């Protein structure tokens, strides 16, 4: 039975100062954060201008390189499903993921459109949403990465942390072909307010949903992960939320 962990990613009001959009039908745009560290001269790193995200950024930000992590195979300038992290607080738990476990990604997104046309699970203004998932194929520490066989190291060649100079990942995770960037969001907020956690957080995860829960990692044990994965497959939100 797989376990799952969900972590916060993507643009937010701190970095780079805006959130990505979510639309009335639940579709959305994944907008990465800017790259804040040096990268290897030979590394190819896209800019915001290259991605042309549907958010209003200052003109001077358009030429900034982006930290394109997580990497989703179907997203521009991505080659596979990889994620890296330099923070020990997340690297420790992520490095314990086994093949078949799930690494989920959530983001804060701003509602854009006519709210009276919105899907019933979307809160007004902003909300917290699952936007993608990796079925874990391999999870390694930064120290283990250097001793991987060449074919496995090559899987991470396009990851943002591998492109940094110096390399700084404390953990690297690669997903199987079952991984995906979602076409529509899965809500973690209630329909009432973005800051209010729904039952995916309060009932299934290890988190109370109190305080700024949308910055914390969310653990799902085997039973909770099974329920969550069924929900992701069916999108039966009305049944789940009662």
Q: Phi and psi of 228, rounded to 5°?
A: -65, -40
Mean pLDDT value across residues 91-95: 95
pLDDT tens for residues 157-202?
A: 999 999 999 999 999 999 999 999 999 999 999 999 999 999 999 9
CA distance 106 to 128: 7
pLDDT of residue 242: 46
pLDDT tens for residues 209-239?
A: 999 999 999 999 999 999 999 988 876 665 5
Question: 114 or 1: which carries more pLDDT confidence?
Answer: 114
In 3D space, the residue among 200, 197, 185 whose CA is nearest the CA of residue 132 turns out to be 185
- For every residue of 67-132, DSSP letters joined together read E--SB-TTSTT--S-EEEE--HHHHHHHHTPPTT-EEEEEEEEEE-S-GGGS-TTPPSSEEEEEEE
CA distance 83 to 78: 11
- Helix (DSSP H) and strand (DSSP E) numbers for the chain: 8, 10
pLDDT of residue 240: 61
What rounded mean pLDDT belongs to the chain? 95
Is the model's pTM score more than 0.85?
yes
């Amino acid at each position: 039975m797989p376990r799952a962990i969900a972590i916060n990613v993507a643009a937010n009001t701190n970095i780079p100062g805006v959130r990505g959009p979510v639309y009335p039908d639940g579709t959305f745009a994944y907008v990465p954060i800017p790259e804040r560290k040096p990268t290897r001269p030979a590394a190819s790193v896209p800019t915001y201008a290259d991605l042309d995200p549907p958010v209003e950024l200052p003109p001077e930000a358009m030429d900034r390189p982006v930290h394109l992590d997580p990497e989703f195979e179907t997203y521009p300038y991505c080659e596979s499903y990889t994620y890296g992290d330099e923070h020990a607080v997340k690297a420790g738990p992520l490095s314990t993921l086994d093949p078949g476990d799930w690494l989920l990604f959530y983001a804060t997104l701003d509602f854009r459109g006519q709210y009276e046309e919105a899907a019933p699970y979307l809160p007004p203004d902003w909300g917290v949403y699952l936007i993608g998932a990796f079925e874990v194929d391999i999870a390694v520490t930064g120290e283990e990465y250097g001793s991987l066989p060449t074919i496995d190291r090559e899987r991470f060649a396009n990851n943002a942390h591998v492109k940094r100079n110096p390399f700084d990942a404390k953990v690297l995770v690669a997903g199987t072909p079952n991984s995906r960037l979602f076409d529509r969001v899965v809500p973690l907020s209630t329909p009432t307010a973005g800051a209010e956690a729904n039952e995916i957080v309060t009932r299934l995860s290890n988190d109370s949903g109190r305080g700024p829960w949308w910055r914390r990692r969310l653990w799902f044990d085997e039973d909770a992960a099974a329920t969550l994965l069924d929900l992701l497959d069916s999108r039966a939100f009305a049944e789940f939320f009662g």
